[in-house]
Structure formats: C-alpha cells, structure tokens
C-alpha cells in the first residue's frame, strides 16, 4: 500500500503502526496456539518494533528516486496510530525474526520489480 502510493504519485494518509511480516506470523502461530487455554490468553500479535508511515514512505522515496507525499490527518474519535505492545507475545514466541524498522529491499523489489542493492544512507534523499 505505501510503496504503491509512492510509486504511483498518490498522497498517503496514515498513522504509525506495528506491521508484522507474514513469515513471522507463520512461525509464531504454533507457540501462540500452545499458549491458548480455557482462561483466555490475550496477546497483541505484532512486530517487535514500532515503525512509522513516515519511515516507510521516506525509504520508498529513497529507493525509487521519486518524491513522496504524506499527509498526517487526525481522524476525530480514532486513535493516532495502531501501535501494539509486543511484550506478552515475545514472552511466548521470542523475538520476531524479520523485524526491521524500515521496509526491506526485498519487499520493495517484490512490489516494484526494482532492485535497490547498494542503497546506503548517503544516497538517501532524507
């Protein structure tokens, strides 16, 4: 969604969140189910680190060489973001294996078909 918006010149409006990689969801499923009991074990299923839409959009802009447009617009009655506390989940599953504060080059390449190997902090626009 974020990569697609930048690549197609659309303005992205979104809050911070704690997205989780599907590969982490797959391996975390078994320990989370093992922790389930008749007394509900409620846990947040999220990544270990908080990332912001600003991080994702800046990273995509740097990888693509395109300008990114992002508007942070508060929505009355809704939370400012969807950040979850991973403490309990980590006590059950351990740390996520694919946690990264910014989108990976592999994801960018998968979505766009553009390979960005060799991108360094010095080549980023921000």
Six token digits for residue 84: 């979850």
What was the pLDDT predicted at 121?
44
What was the pLDDT predicted at 125?
39
**Count of the separate structural domains present in the chain:** 1
Helix intervals (H) in 2-124: 2-7, 22-35, 53-64, 87-93, 105-112
7 contacts: CB under 8 Å, gap ≥ 6: 60, 64, 66, 111, 112
The per-residue pLDDT of the chain, averaged, comes to 76
The domain of 54 spans: 2-123
For residues 18 and 51, is the Cβ–Cβ distance under 8 A?
yes
What percentage of the chain exceeds 90 in pLDDT? 10
Q: Residues 12-35: what's their mean pLDDT?
A: 79
Report which of 52, 81, 65 is spatially closest to residue 6, judged by C-alpha positions. 65
Q: What is the pLDDT of residues 38-95, one digit of tens each?
A: 788 888 888 887 777 777 788 888 888 888 888 777 666 666 666 788 899 999 999 8
Six token digits for residue 94: 């351990």
pTM of the model: 0.53
């Amino acid at each position: 969604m974020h990569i697609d918006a930048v690549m197609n010149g659309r303005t992205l409006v979104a809050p911070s969140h704690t997205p989780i990689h599907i590969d982490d969801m797959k391996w975390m499923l078994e320990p989370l189910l093992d922790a389930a009991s008749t007394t509900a074990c409620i846990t947040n299923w999220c990544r270990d680190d908080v990332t912001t839409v600003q991080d994702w959009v800046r990273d995509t802009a740097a990888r693509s060489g395109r300008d990114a447009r992002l508007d942070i617009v508060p929505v009355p009655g809704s939370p400012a973001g969807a950040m979850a506390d991973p403490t309990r989940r980590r006590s059950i599953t351990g740390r996520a294996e694919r946690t990264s504060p910014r989108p990976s080059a592999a994801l960018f390449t998968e979505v766009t078909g553009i390979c960005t190997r060799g991108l360094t902090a010095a080549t980023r626009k921000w």
